[in-house]
Amino acid sequence: GEEVAQTPKHLVRGEGQKAKLYCAPIKGHSYVFWYQQVLKNEFKFLISFQNENVFDETGMPKERFSAKCLPNSPCSLEIQATKLEDSAVYFCASSHWSNQPQHFGDGTRLSIL
Amino acid sequence: DQQVKQNSPSLSVQEGRISILNCDYTNSMFDYFLWYKKYPAEGPTFLISISSIKDKNEDGRFTVFLNKSAKHLSLHIVPSQPGDSAVYFCAATGPSGAGSYQLTFGKGTKLSVIP
């Protein structure tokens, strides 16, 4: 598609439950990026992919967080055993090549109760 | 340690006048800079970018200036329109070819254009 599509828009989970977020990048884009916006205006990089391969995972918490980009499927970000501090808006972005502008989806708001 | 700083949380400008949004960075390895506009409950929308080999890039009403020696960039919007009211984020990445293209964002400046 012409836009980065993120689902769901809003996800509510109880503390300790699993959360799974999805992202369909713009068709033809090879790079996918995940960012976490915890406080209103602070973006934190999590992980990036080049096609289905992890490109940079330096921002990913070592425990509980995992991500995949499989061929012919939306990319996913999964959080196991969620904590209150995981409450945030998670943005996905894609770009055609590595150092071109990243185009963002509208985010998934994750609320941990 | 904040590597990209937008020191003005907010800015109000009269419609038709120029809006100037500023951004400073500390990491001298950054070599590609971008501006994004964000409305509430939406994702950031790419506006304009500039490579470190240039000092100016223009696209319609938007111009970005880069001063590498001062580690400073600015976004000029002329003329400002009420629809420009949004939060503007400065972002940086680099070094190119080093294997990571993650964006480092500033905290944003909320622009209000008054009709």
Contact residues on chain A for B101, CB-CB shorter than 8 A: 31, 33, 48, 55-56, 95, 98-99, 102
Q: What is the pLDDT of residues A48-96, one digit of tens each?
A: 999 999 999 999 998 999 999 998 899 999 999 999 999 999 999 999 9
Q: In chain A, what residues touch B5 (CB-CB under 8 Å)?
A: none
CA of A18 to nearest chain B CA: how many angstroms apart? Answer: 24
The number of angstroms, rounded, from the C-alpha of B98 to the middle of its chain's C-alpha atoms is 23
Measured CA to CA, the distance from residue B50 to residue B54 in angstroms comes to 7
Q: In the structure, what pLDDT confidence band is assigned to residue A1 with cuts at 50, 70 and 90?
A: low
A98: its two tokens: 């590595």
- Residue B98 scores a pLDDT above 80: no
Contact between chains at A106 and B41 (C-beta distance less than 8 A): yes
Residue of B nearest to A5 (CA): B43
Shortest distance, CA B12 to any CA of chain A (angstroms): 19
Strand positions, DSSP E, B1-115: 4-5, 10-14, 19-25, 32-38, 45-51, 56-59, 62-67, 72-77, 86-93, 104-105, 109-114
